[in-house]
Structure 1
Amino acid sequence: MKLIDLNRDGEIGANCHYIQIGSLNLVIDSGLHPKKAGRRAAPDFGPIRGVHLDLIIITHCHLDHIGSLPVLLREHPEAPVVMSTSSRMLVERMLHNSANVMVRQKEEANIPEYPLFTHEEIDRIAKRLTGIPFGQAKRIQGGKDDITIILHPAGHVAGAAGVEIHHKRRQIFLTGDVLFEDQRTLPGAKFPAGRFDTLVMETTRGITARGSEKTRLIEVNRLIDSINDTIQRGGSYLIPVFALGRQQEILSIIHDARKFRRLVDCPIFAAGLGMDLADYFDEISRKTKHVRFNRGIIKELQIKPTPRKLNPGEDPQQNGLYIISSGMMVERTPSYTLASGLVGHARNTIGFVGYCDPDTPGGELLASKPGDQFLFKACNVKTKIKARVERFDLSGHADREELLEFAVQADPRVIVLTHGENEARAWFAGQLAEKLPKTKLIDPVPLQTYQV
């Protein structure tokens, strides 16, 4: 087996791996880097230019895994694409939204290369995208060889899949992004137990240790208490969320809290792609049973649309709860603009509920201290941090100990580390070397070829 990480920057970004198994050529995911712009945000497809691809496999529909898929399909017009049934229901909507965002960024940030693809191009590739149910074996033939792939629920987000590949007597497993713990909207991962020859595993939370005092239930209760305290102090509460998965999860948590009279009475504001995706989650829940979400909770919560015009540096003084994207408070998003007006007032709180890259505005705000000056560069607002800034451990990624346990029980001949910052991969490499001394560990350098 030959492997090349096509994510030109490594770490977490434009996730994309080329894998050659026998005579078959596969690509796993084709994402966009959230911190890069233009073609630099896409993987480097140079090493597979001119290669006949037998199959492209998508693990899930976050844009760091699908955001450059139309570009890849443009270069490989014959390659079929498979993903889980749930992901197939989401993928076109996510890509169309990405095209809209790139058109806007072309003007706002002067990125002449955008959009990398058009709505018409998304419509043309749709017939090449196939959804397969979890647990159903699919045989792929190419040249002299054939493989069998089986997708397994990976938790994380609706449709997320771990990928099991059989080639002759060899079994390969790719975790994709995984969460073993149940969420309100989604059961945890259900991966096959037992030995694999090769394991390709994510390492996102390698530098994050979770103590016994930070169970998911405790963190949910702490979030509700924090919202109640802020509203009762006359403040506004902002929860920056990812549109796919996290917004629906937070809405479900808030709905449960209100149903059991644990949440104070306050207006709730939400808008954007995440609210649109609630319809998709409702449909997936009815058709596949792999998601637990009923769109009726939006009506029951009496969700109000976020004001169309959020003025930079201005506190709307609504004394309400805002559940809006982006999750990392990326520049020129509603959460970024609203935060620029909330941060300067002690009555307000910003509560982060997911991963924030250290180099994003959300990550920079989390690293700052009360009283520090904070610059919202994109909207030309500089303010002293007076609001509370809190982090709640409700990650969509597995704890490092759980992933380590899965890897150890798989007892593979080779482990390939992916989807993690350098420090996170280093933690896994150290632990795995100690617990699996006979296993070969590969932390791939981008664009370098490895014989696995």
Structure 2
Amino acid sequence: MITLTSLGGAGTVTGSKHLLESDGRRILVDCGLFQGLKKLREQNWDPFPIKPSSIDAVVLTHAHLDHSGYLPKLVKDGFRGPILASAATRDVAEIILRDSGHIQEKDAENANRYGYSKHKTALPLYGVHDAERAVERFSSTAFRQEVRLPGGASLMLRRAGHILGAATAEVTWNGTRILFSGDLGRYGDATMVDPEPVTEADYVVVESTYGDRLHDPQDPTQTLGDVIERTTARGGTIVIPTFAVGRAQSLLYHLWQLKEAGRIGLVPIYMDSPMAINATDLLCAHLEDHRMPRDVCEAACGIATYVRDVEASKKITASPMPKVILAASGMATGGRVLHHIKAFGPDRRNTILFSGYQAAGTRGRSMVEGAREVKIHGQWVPINAEVATLPMLSAHADYEEILRWLSGIKRPPRKTFIVHGEPHASDALRVRIQDRFGWDCVIPEMMERHEL
């Protein structure tokens, strides 16, 4: 008998962790941090539901923090098995996990310095050393090649689009085929490949981030150009809170297209995120994982001035000239973008442009929903700048694209589990799958055990 238990990513769009168990062996698919609402973030500090040392292997679909960010803590607490992922995911995860470890250390240091922790001595969830130990456990896995997992299971990865290295994961165990979507990308995306079809599955575990909506069909290059033109015409600066992996690189491509078309003239473009810069360097090292040929990749990656040190970042903020600033983080939860929002948010000539999903409880979500002030570094900052979005740039499949991917499965699965979505989005996708295909669907709750 095989059981499936969601230790995260159930009833929420973050913290994905899905546990398969059979005959005392355990395989964990994804191992993400909870992000967004405080009550979710606090779960990162709860004792792990099972002994990390009892897990035989982790399968990682992609490197985003909500799928990979708990790995250093898992290793810190005793996990000693392999972490199987695509080669590009391994490279991207190394950047993301090191950065996350550094942030955890800095947060603890600041909490102790300024006394805002409820603990006498605040400790990081994990540090850079723990991240490095986690990276050492990675085993690069080729796409469309069956590999053995501990306990007699096997794994096959297929490209999912979404970001560099992202995969769907098919785990076959005791003759039962369980398919995990991970995060599905878009069809016809300008930079990333289409999600690869899968024709057979006994059980499907599918994400539902955008299970309740369709993406805007407008051309993202055109819309981005319109925002830049109207903002610079009034003497303003465009601040783009940017997901360092995936979105930053897509934006560079669209900005390059605008430059090539002569639409944005000499407006300077700055990439103010060391992690995004490092991730961008990987694009030309993994040409097989995206659509761009080498010359286009190199040209797009060369469109921006890269800013690594803090002093150079401060100079950008101080400059009154119109410009485009790409800075992490994508939901304005931390990072250098907060300094830019503090500087440019109060002036109505400027624009804060969001380019992806904004989770509940984040500053990004508040601003997109119309908040006229946000709290940054303990201060309330007025938001008089234009707040705009580029929903068509999302790296997540909308519900029609999810259904398109599912339609490749020729025989109805025994059950389809809908995860990684806010409740209304998951329920909307459940209804659509049942109406379109007549499949048996379940929205699992956290820690709910299902026999397969």
TM-score tier, shorter chain, comes to 0.7 to 0.9
In the alignment, the residues of structure 1 paired with residue 122 and residue 434 of structure 2 have an alpha-carbon distance, to the nearest angstrom, of 43
**Structure 2, unaligned stretches of length 5 or more?**
none
Tell me whether 196-205 or 385-394 shows the greater mean CA deviation: 385-394
In the alignment, the residues of structure 1 paired with residue 73 and residue 307 of structure 2 have an alpha-carbon distance, to the nearest angstrom, of 37
Does the C-alpha gap of structure 1 residues 296 and 180 become closer, same or farther in structure 2, counting only changes over 3 Å? closer
Task: Specify the alignment match of 1:375 in structure 2.
Answer: 374
Task: Give the TM-score normalised by structure 2.
Answer: 0.88
Task: Specify the alignment match of 1:199 in structure 2.
Answer: 204
Q: Contact 2:53–2:80 at 8 Å: present in 1 too?
A: no
In the alignment, the residues of structure 2 paired with residue 190 and residue 255 of structure 1 have an alpha-carbon distance, to the nearest angstrom, of 28
In the alignment, the residues of structure 1 paired with residue 206 and residue 131 of structure 2 have an alpha-carbon distance, to the nearest angstrom, of 29
In the alignment, the residues of structure 1 paired with residue 241 and residue 72 of structure 2 have an alpha-carbon distance, to the nearest angstrom, of 28
CA deviations over 1:96-116 (Å, ceiling 9, x no partner): 111111111113344555422
Does the C-alpha gap of structure 1 residues 358 and 126 become closer, same or farther in structure 2, counting only changes over 3 Å? closer
Which amino acid is 1:65 matched to?
H
Task: Specify the alignment match of 1:119 in structure 2.
Answer: 128
The 5 A counterparts of 1:27-38 are 27-35=28-36, 36=38
Does the C-alpha gap of structure 1 residues 436 and 324 become closer, same or farther in structure 2, counting only changes over 3 Å? same
The 5 A counterparts of 1:278-427 are 278-285=280-287, 288-290=288-290, 292=292, 294-295=297-298, 297-303=300-306, 308=311, 316-330=319-333, 332-368=334-370, 373-383=372-382, 385-393=383-391, 394-410=393-409, 411-427=412-428
CA deviations over 1:280-307 (Å, ceiling 9, x no partner): 222222xx45463734544454456687
Which amino acid is 1:447 matched to?
M
In the alignment, the residues of structure 2 paired with residue 306 and residue 238 of structure 1 have an alpha-carbon distance, to the nearest angstrom, of 18
In the alignment, the residues of structure 1 paired with residue 407 and residue 246 of structure 2 have an alpha-carbon distance, to the nearest angstrom, of 29
In the alignment, the residues of structure 2 paired with residue 30 and residue 43 of structure 1 have an alpha-carbon distance, to the nearest angstrom, of 14
In the alignment, the residues of structure 2 paired with residue 39 and residue 113 of structure 1 have an alpha-carbon distance, to the nearest angstrom, of 16
Does the C-alpha gap of structure 1 residues 256 and 305 become closer, same or farther in structure 2, counting only changes over 3 Å? farther
In the alignment, the residues of structure 2 paired with residue 258 and residue 221 of structure 1 have an alpha-carbon distance, to the nearest angstrom, of 12
Q: Contact 2:63–2:96 at 8 Å: present in 1 too?
A: yes
Partner SS for 1:48: coil
CA deviations over 1:365-397 (Å, ceiling 9, x no partner): 1111xxx641334341342x4321111111110
Does the C-alpha gap of structure 1 residues 319 and 356 become closer, same or farther in structure 2, counting only changes over 3 Å? same
Partner SS for 1:42: helix
Task: Specify the alignment match of 2:176 in structure 1.
Answer: 170
Does the C-alpha gap of structure 1 residues 433 and 325 become closer, same or farther in structure 2, counting only changes over 3 Å? same
Tell me whether 69-78 or 230-239 shows the greater mean CA deviation: 69-78
Quote the offset at 1:118 in angstroms.
Answer: 2.8
Quote the offset at 1:348 in angstroms.
Answer: 1.0
In the alignment, the residues of structure 2 paired with residue 289 and residue 424 of structure 1 have an alpha-carbon distance, to the nearest angstrom, of 29
In the alignment, the residues of structure 2 paired with residue 131 and residue 353 of structure 1 have an alpha-carbon distance, to the nearest angstrom, of 30
The 5 A counterparts of 1:431-446 are 431-437=432-438, 439-446=439-446
In the alignment, the residues of structure 2 paired with residue 72 and residue 417 of structure 1 have an alpha-carbon distance, to the nearest angstrom, of 25
Give the share of equivalent positions with the same residue, in percent: 24
Quote the offset at 1:252 in angstroms.
Answer: 1.4
Partner SS for 2:397: coil
Q: Contact 2:10–2:445 at 8 Å: present in 1 too?
A: no
Does the C-alpha gap of structure 1 residues 401 and 298 become closer, same or farther in structure 2, counting only changes over 3 Å? closer
In the alignment, the residues of structure 2 paired with residue 120 and residue 198 of structure 1 have an alpha-carbon distance, to the nearest angstrom, of 37
Does the C-alpha gap of structure 1 residues 250 and 158 become closer, same or farther in structure 2, counting only changes over 3 Å? same
Task: Give the TM-score normalised by structure 1.
Answer: 0.88
In the alignment, the residues of structure 2 paired with residue 43 and residue 220 of structure 1 have an alpha-carbon distance, to the nearest angstrom, of 41
Q: Contact 1:32–1:42 at 8 Å: present in 2 too?
A: yes
In the alignment, the residues of structure 2 paired with residue 303 and residue 74 of structure 1 have an alpha-carbon distance, to the nearest angstrom, of 34
Which amino acid is 2:445 matched to?
V
Quote the offset at 1:202 in angstroms.
Answer: 0.1
In the alignment, the residues of structure 1 paired with residue 398 and residue 381 of structure 2 have an alpha-carbon distance, to the nearest angstrom, of 36
In the alignment, the residues of structure 2 paired with residue 302 and residue 63 of structure 1 have an alpha-carbon distance, to the nearest angstrom, of 26
In the alignment, the residues of structure 1 paired with residue 406 and residue 130 of structure 2 have an alpha-carbon distance, to the nearest angstrom, of 39
Does the C-alpha gap of structure 1 residues 136 and 242 become closer, same or farther in structure 2, counting only changes over 3 Å? same
Q: Contact 1:417–1:444 at 8 Å: present in 2 too?
A: yes
Q: Does 1:184 align with 2:193?
A: no
Q: Does 1:92 align with 2:94?
A: yes
Which amino acid is 1:389 matched to?
V
CA deviations over 1:181-240 (Å, ceiling 9, x no partner): 243332121132x23210000000022233xxx32x523211111112211221111111
Tell me whether 394-403 or 405-414 shows the greater mean CA deviation: 405-414
Partner SS for 1:283: coil
**Higher relative contact order (Cα pairs below 8 Å, separated by 6+ residues):** 2
Tell me whether 2-11 or 413-422 shows the greater mean CA deviation: 2-11
Does the C-alpha gap of structure 1 residues 14 and 113 become closer, same or farther in structure 2, counting only changes over 3 Å? farther
**Structure 1, unaligned stretches of length 5 or more?**
none
In the alignment, the residues of structure 2 paired with residue 74 and residue 91 of structure 1 have an alpha-carbon distance, to the nearest angstrom, of 17
Does the C-alpha gap of structure 1 residues 132 and 220 become closer, same or farther in structure 2, counting only changes over 3 Å? same
Quote the offset at 1:71 in angstroms.
Answer: 1.8
CA deviations over 1:50-98 (Å, ceiling 9, x no partner): 7732221011111111111022123444321100111112222211111
Count how many residue pairs are aligned between Structure 1 and Structure 2: 434
